[in-house]
Amino acid sequence: MQEPLQTRMMDQLWDLQLSNGYITDEDVIKLSRQFNLSEIEVEGVVSFYHFFHRKPTGKYTIYLNNSIVADIKGFSRIKETLERESGTTFGSVDRTGTFGLFLTPCIGLSDQEPSALINFYPFTNLNAIKIKDIISSLKRGVDPETICDSPADNIRYMPPGNKTVFFKEFANGSAFARATTLGEDGVLEELKKAELAGRGGAYYPTWKKWSAAKSQPSATKYVVCNADEGEPGTFKDRVLINTQANTLIEGMIICGYTIGAENGIVYLRGEYRWLKNKLEAAIDEYKKAGLLGTDCGNIKGFNFDIRVQMGAGSYVCGEETALLESLEGKRGEPRTKWFFPVEKGYLQHPTVINNVETFCAAARIIEIGADAYMSQGIPGSPGVKLLSVSGDCKLPGLYEIEWGMTVAELLELCEAEDPYYIQVSGPSGECISIKEKYRRISMLDLLARKDIRCGGSFMIFSKQRFGKSAAKFFRILYV
Ligand SMILES: Cc1cc2nc3c(=O)[nH]c(=O)nc-3n(C[C@H](O)[C@H](O)[C@H](O)COP(=O)(O)O)c2cc1C
């Protein structure tokens, strides 16, 4: 189906922002004519997103992460060094228009802080010497793309005995082939049996969501992947996109096959722009293999395609209805919930929205079968979960744990350094004390006070951090 013009608005704003460093008055007028909107409406979209500017942001636009993990890893020193070396202060551009310095919340690199984006390319594990080198190279006209880092995946732990679910070798098309053998209802049965629940944090049963979309009579349906990963301290989706783009794509194809959709969209957070080419290359590979496009996987009449849509810096766009608004080229404001997205989602068509990890897990469950998946975990929480671990520990990174692991076990694995409290699931999650280290990480209700319901982020803090730095960032519930 042809998408309306306004859905391309974000792409055009990105092009203008990247080519000119800002969006001019003339651009606003041009866009308003092109999309048949008022200038105020266009201004409204531009002003909503952190990465779109109405004033020049410098030849080199530098966004330094100011999250709590960056703070404890030396943010202040980096900030000072950047200001000294570039000759400007944060929130402004230097006199020559060369450097623009801006602060930004968590950029999904908490395992390698302090970090920054320069013209949206990643620079990690920053220190004063590295900053001096970077700025002097940029002054010589070096392209940031040629000197940026390739962030490490830091996959620190997988279930022993080669029992990883997410990271074992994957043959493109294998999960989809099994899905077509199972049939649409068989796929739903398998996901139900495996008790797969949404990994974006709400843990809604995936099979129920897919089943609700399948039962909609509409001829046009969408599959949307939520790759906005805005929860501070989380980076599991970054690692999945970098290492498992094929299983993500395959999870989306299986979803499209099951619900009867023809269109898939990955909404990729602006902070992960550096992953866009890689993701699109994986999509192209699937197209070339006949697994995307017309008659995917030689299934007559099953046509399915995927495109990537960039976000532009907005935490709230991770919320599914705000994400839909943003996909439609509007301000990313959450919708009043008259309808679930599976009823009226993208462009008012039935839409399944799932997290990156959910799609990857769905593909793996279909590939290996629910029984194999359920050989790990605990009752009520079968299988495995990806955790993003950062803060005061020797081994920050990604942990694929069996559901039911205790916090104490995780702290030991990551070599936590004098842990005193842990912020679970970002600021909107829960701050737990080391006294609660025998709590299990599982899907059971957080209110039961027995188990931690977790979107994926574990930020560990030692006693010395307690107080000022934590209070600055979080509402401490109890320690
Ligand atoms: C403020 C807010 C931010 C959210 N951010 C994200 C996010 O970054 N990534 C994500 O997958 N889900 C996020 N969610 C949850 C989504 O609204 C939605 O539940 C999820 O994408 C559904 O996918 P799942 O069922 O696979 O978890 C957020 C929700 C809220 C209320």
Question: What's the 209 CA to ligand 1 centre distance in angstroms?
Answer: 14
In a domain, 479, yes or no: no
Q: Is residue 478 part of a domain?
A: no
Last residue of a domain, one of 354, 373, 392: 373
pLDDT of 12:
96
Say what the pLDDT of residue 1 is.
Answer: 62
- Report if residue 53 sits inside a domain: no
pLDDT at 453: 65
How close is the Cα of 320 to the center of ligand 1, in Å?
6
- Digit-coded pLDDT (tens) for 88-107: 999 999 999 999 999 999 99
Q: What is the pLDDT of residue 478?
A: 42
CATH number at residue 113: 3.40.30.10
In a domain, 298, yes or no: yes
Residue to mutate (ligand 1; options 210, 236, 320; most atoms within 8 A of CB)? 320
Task: Say how many Å lie between the CA of residue 200 and the centre of ligand 1.
Answer: 4
Residues 342 and 209 in one domain: yes
User: So what's the pLDDT on residue 216?
Assistant: 98
267 with 200, same domain? yes
Quick one: 305 and 190 in the same domain? yes
66 and 44: one domain? no
Determine if ligand 1 sits within 6 Å of the CB of residue 357. no
Q: Which residues pair with 304 in a beta bridge?
A: 293
Same domain, 359 and 468: no
Q: Is residue 54 situated within a structural domain?
A: no
In Å, how far are 2, 81, 126, 223 from 78, measured between CA atoms? 47, 5, 7, 41
Residues 199 and 135 in one domain: no
Q: What residue owns the CA closest to ligand 1's atom 10? A: 200
16 lies in a domain?
yes
- Does residue 17 share a domain with residue 94? no
Domain identity same for 231 and 362: yes
**Which domain covers residue 255, as residue numbers?**
156-373
Does the Cβ of 408 fall within 6 Å of ligand 1?
Answer: no
428 part of a folded domain:
yes
Partners of residue 104 on adjacent β-strands: 65
The sign of the CA dihedral 333, 339, 342, 345 is: negative
Q: Which of 100, 124, 152 is the last residue of a domain?
A: 152
Which residues are CB-neighbours of 19 under 8 A, at least 6 positions away?
none
At 36-85, the pLDDT tens digits run 999 999 999 999 999 999 999 999 999 999 999 999 999 999 999 999 99
Q: What is the pLDDT, as a whole number, of residue 467?
A: 64
CB distance 230 to ligand 1 below 6 Å: yes
Task: Give the CATH number for residue 408.
Answer: 3.10.20.600
204 with 225, same domain: the answer is yes
- Considering 122, 152, 182, which residue would you say is the last residue of a domain? 152
146 and 161 housed in the same domain: no
Residue with tokens 């009449």: 301
| Alpha-helical segments (H) within 21-166 | 25-35, 39-48, 68-72, 75-86, 128-139, 144-147
Q: Which atom of ligand 1 is least distant from the CA of 229?
A: 8
191 and 254 both lie in a single domain: yes
Q: Which atom of ligand 1 is nearest to the CA of 359?
A: 26
The pLDDT score that the predictor gives to residue 469 is 62
At residue 466, φ and ψ (nearest 5 deg) are -65, 145
**SS3 state of residue 259:** helix
Q: Is the CB of 320 under 6 A from ligand 1?
A: yes
Q: Tell me which residues of the chain have a pLDDT lower than 50.
A: 447-448, 476-479
Q: Any idea what the CATH number is for the domain that residue 301 is in?
A: 3.40.50.11540
Tokens at residue 59, please? Answer: 């030849």
User: What residue's CA is closest to ligand 1, atom 20?
Assistant: 200
136 plus 172 within the same structural domain: no
Q: Which of 230, 166, 154, 227 is nearest to 400 (CA)?
A: 166
Give, using CA atoms, the residue closest to atom 23 of ligand 1. 354
pLDDT reported for residue 387: 96
Domain count, the chain: 4
